[in-house]
């Protein structure tokens, strides 16, 4: 019989594993409690991540870095600003240039000095980037720095980054954590023909060998919200059919999760405490998450995907547009109006983010995520688990379902149905 102490020890280790899978880079400054647990169980975590998922975990004095590999395109998620807007290509450029400049920066540096170093690095690379030039450029530069601060690579020691974004004369002093800066990029770029060639070189989701194939299968289940059998290659489907129970058992030991195994596919189900650990991205309490949950509940009530023997049910464009409008205009805005924050999010932005979340979590499939793009969407089989109480009049907003469905899916860095997506694929 397992003692209470052993159960607590196992729970701590699994919680630490879920945190690292969701946030592959944590530091003593950004996640003090989580990092303390990771460090205390570092030997177990290093060994298990290597054996179960083929990931390398490095635990240093003040940070831990889980270097993922094998899946890139299928689980890549864009970085976002605090507003929820995705990074533009120019912001990604500033992020790369900041990293290049910070590697050789002193322990303490001002933002204005770093901006000059970024410009110098851009000139050397043949790029027209100068964060001292105009406000738009400066804001992209500060957005990149803000993300580095959230990862623990830099810490504002005097002033606030947002002040410099508004006024170039408001200088800010940063403390640079050079070891963390070097760990941000888990797999430094090497010489390739182009960026697509570099990504293809990182892909290893369908290896031929049996052992490598089993690791790839476990990786896919951990990092993908829902693995649909119809989306797999014949070799992957055969591997899943023969090894799914063993793969689920290995992941349960590492992450403390259960699994739903059905004819359509497999989804990992995280424990209830994963929500408090921020290892769950859906359902969530933010406006886009609540709108997405209300939308999927209404669509389930209308289309009944669980009664159709197929992986998905097409959603007519008019139905999707009408339900989005009902959720945002009639339901969600009333909920936000009662909140402590008086700001009501932009309806088109919330619609686009809600659709993107449902697509990323494997609950819907669609061609795009713009607020007005309602053609070609499908409600997938896994959405049926979020069906709320039956109701009528969904199109006109009557009897809207409640937003208290349980969380399910993966804890990986993929933005999965229970994924705390950490800022993108590592």
pLDDT in tens, the chain (426 residues): 466 778 899 999 999 999 999 899 999 999 999 999 999 999 999 999 999 999 999 999 999 999 988 876 666 678 888 777 789 999 999 999 999 999 999 999 999 999 999 999 999 989 999 998 888 899 999 999 999 999 999 999 998 998 888 888 888 999 999 999 999 988 777 777 777 777 776 666 677 778 888 999 999 999 888 899 988 889 899 999 999 999 999 999 999 999 989 888 998 888 876 655 555 567 777 788 888 999 999 999 888 765 555 678 999 999 999 999 898 876 545 555 444 444 556 778 888 888 988 988 889 998 865 546 788 999 998 888 887 555 444 444 434 333 333 344 444 433 333 332 223 334
* In contact, 270 and 408? CB cutoff 8 Å: yes
Separation between Cα atoms, residue 322 and residue 189, nearest integer Å: 45
- Which residues sit opposite 86 in a β-bridge? 80
Backbone angles phi, psi at 55, to 5 degrees: -100, 145
- Parallel, antiparallel or unpaired: strands 63-67 and 265-269: unpaired
| Statement: the pTM of the whole predicted model exceeds 0.95 | no
- Rounded Cα–Cα distance for residues 24 and 49 (Å): 12
Buried-exposed string 251-278: b where 16+ CB fall within 10 A, e elsewhere: beebbbbebbeeebbbbbbbbeebbebb
406, two tokens:
């349980």
All residues at 6 or more sequence positions from 209 whose CB lies less than 8 Å from its CB, including other chains: none
Report angle CA 296, 241, 227 to the nearest 5 degrees: 25
Structure tokens at 304: 């009944």
Angle at 250 between CA 249 and CA 251, to 5 degrees: 90
Packing angle, helices 4-22 and 32-40, rounded to 10: 120
């Amino acid at each position: 019989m397992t003692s209470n102490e052993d159960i607590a020890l196992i729970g701590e280790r699994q919680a630490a594993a879920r945190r690292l899978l969701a946030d592959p880079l944590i530091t003593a400054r950004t996640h003090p409690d989580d990092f303390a647990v990771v460090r205390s169980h570092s030997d177990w975590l290093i060994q298990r991540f290597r054996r179960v998922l083929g990931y390398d975990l490095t635990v240093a004095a003040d940070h831990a870095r889980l270097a993922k590999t094998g899946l890139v395109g299928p689980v890549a998620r864009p970085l976002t600003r605090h507003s929820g807007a995705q990074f533009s290509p120019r912001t990604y450029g500033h992020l790369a240039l900041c990293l290049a400049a910070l590697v050789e920066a002193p322990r303490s540096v001002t933002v204005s000095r770093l901006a000059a170093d970024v410009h110098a690095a851009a000139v050397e690379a043949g790029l027209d980037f100068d964060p001292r030039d105009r406000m738009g450029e400066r804001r992209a530069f500060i957005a990149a720095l803000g993300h580095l601060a959230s990862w623990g690579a830099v810490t504002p020691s005097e002033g606030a980054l947002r002040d410099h974004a508004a006024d170039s004369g408001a200088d800010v002093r940063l403390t640079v954590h050079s070891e963390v800066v070097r760990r941000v990029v888990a797999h430094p770029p090497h010489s390739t023909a182009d960026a697509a060639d570099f990504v293809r070189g990182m892909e290893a989701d369908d290896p031929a060998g049996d052992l490598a194939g089993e690791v790839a299968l476990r990786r896919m289940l951990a990092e993908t919200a829902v693995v649909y059998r119809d989306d797999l290659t014949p070799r992957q489907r055969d591997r899943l059919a023969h090894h799914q129970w063993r793969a689920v058992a290995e992941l349960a030991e590492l992450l403390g999760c259960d699994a739903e195994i059905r004819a359509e596919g497999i989804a990992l189900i995280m424990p209830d405490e994963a929500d408090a650990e921020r290892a769950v991205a859906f359902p969530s309490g933010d406006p886009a998450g609540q709108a997405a949950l209300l939308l999927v509940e209404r669509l389930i009530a209308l289309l009944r995907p669980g009664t159709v023997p197929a992986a998905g049910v097409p959603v007519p464009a008019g139905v999707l547009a009408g339900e989005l409008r009902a959720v945002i205009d009639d339901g969600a805005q009333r909920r936000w109006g009662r909140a402590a924050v008086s700001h009501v999010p932009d309806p088109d932005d919330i619609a686009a983010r809600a659709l993107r979340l449902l697509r990323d979590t494997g609950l819907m499939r669609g061609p795009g995520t713009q607020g007005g793009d309602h053609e070609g969407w499908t409600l997938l089989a896994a959405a049926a688990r979020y069906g709320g109480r039956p109701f009528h009049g969904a199109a006109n907003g009557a009897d809207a379902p409640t937003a208290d469905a349980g969380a399910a899916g993966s804890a990986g860095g993929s933005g999965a149905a229970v994924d705390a997506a950490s800022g993108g694929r590592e």
